[in-house]
Amino acid sequence: MPELRLRILGEPQMPRFIFRCDLHRFIIPTLALCFLIGAADVHAEDWSSLRTEYDQLKRYMAAKRTIGSSEKASLTELQSKLDAFRKNNPNDARPVAMDLQLAIWLGDDQRIDEDYERLASLSDRDRVQVAWARHRLGQNRYQSIPMILQANPIDLAAEPEGGILLARAHMSRNQFYEAIEAIDAIPEEGLAKPGIRGQANRIRGEATRWSALWQDEVTRREAEDAAGTAPIIQLITSKGPVTIMLYENEAPNTVANFIELSEQDFYDGTRFHRVEPNFVAQGGDPNSRPGSGSTAGSGGRGSWIPDESSRVDKRFHFAGSVAMAKSPDPSKPGKTTPNSGSSQFYIVLEPAENLNTEYTVFGRVIDGIEVAEAIRRDDDLLEVATISRPERAYVAETLPTPGPIPAPAAGPLPESPAPETPAVPEAPAAPKTVTDPPTGE
Average pLDDT over residues 293-322: 95
Structure confidence by residue, pLDDT tens digits, 249-267:
999 999 999 999 999 999 9
Helix (H) or strand (E) holding 243: strand 240-246
Nearest to 265 by CA among 293, 287, 284: 284
Helix (H) or strand (E) holding 271: strand 270-271
Q: Classify residue 370 by its DSSP letter.
A: H
pTM: 0.80
The Cα angle at residue 284 between residues 283 and 285, in degrees rounded to 5: 100
Residue 414 phi, psi dihedral angles, 5° rounding:
-55, -35
Please, which residues have CB within 8 angstroms of residue 58's CB and are 6 or more apart in sequence? Answer: 27, 101
The most confident of the ranges 34-48, 66-80, 124-138 is 124-138
Average pLDDT over residues 224-250: 98
Q: Which residues pair with 367 in a beta bridge?
A: 243
Asked whether the beta carbons of 378 and 290 are under 8 A apart, the reply is no
Based on C-alpha coordinates, what's the Rg of the chain? 24
| Cα 334 from Cα 337, distance rounded (Å) | 10
Q: Give the model's pLDDT for residue 44.
A: 62
How many C-beta neighbours within 10 Å does residue 432 have? 14
Q: Which of the four pLDDT bands, split at 50, 70 and 90, describes residue 45?
A: low
195 φψ region: left (φ > 0), alpha (ψ -120 to 50), beta (else) = left
Does the structure show a pLDDT above 90 at 4?
A: no
Q: Give the model's pLDDT for residue 400.
A: 86
Mean pLDDT for the chain overall: 84
How large a percentage of the chain has pLDDT more than 90? 73
What burial letters (b/e) apply to 258-268, b meaning 16+ CB within 10 Å? bbbbbeeebbb
Asked whether the beta carbons of 100 and 116 are under 8 A apart, the reply is yes
Asked whether the beta carbons of 433 and 441 are under 8 A apart, the reply is yes
Average pLDDT over residues 176-204: 98
**Domain limits, CATH 1.25.40, in the chain:** 23-208
Does the structure show a pLDDT above 60 at 309?
A: yes
- Looking at 2.40.30.10, 3.30.420.280, 2.40.100.10, 3.30.1280.10, the CATH number of the domain 230-388 comes to 2.40.100.10
Q: Which of the four pLDDT bands, split at 50, 70 and 90, describes residue 66?
A: confident
User: Which amino acid is located at 379 in the chain?
Assistant: D
- Looking at 1.25.40, 1.10.10, 2.40.128, 3.40.50, the CATH number of the domain 23-208 comes to 1.25.40
Q: Give the model's pLDDT for residue 337.
A: 93
Nearest to 109 by CA among 139, 77, 79: 139
**Domain limits, CATH 2.40.100.10, in the chain:** 230-388
Please, which residues have CB within 8 angstroms of residue 55's CB and are 6 or more apart in sequence? Answer: none
Structure confidence by residue, pLDDT tens digits, 110-166:
999 999 999 999 989 999 999 999 999 999 999 999 999 998 889 999 999 999 999
Helix (H/G/I), strand (E/B), else coil: 120: helix
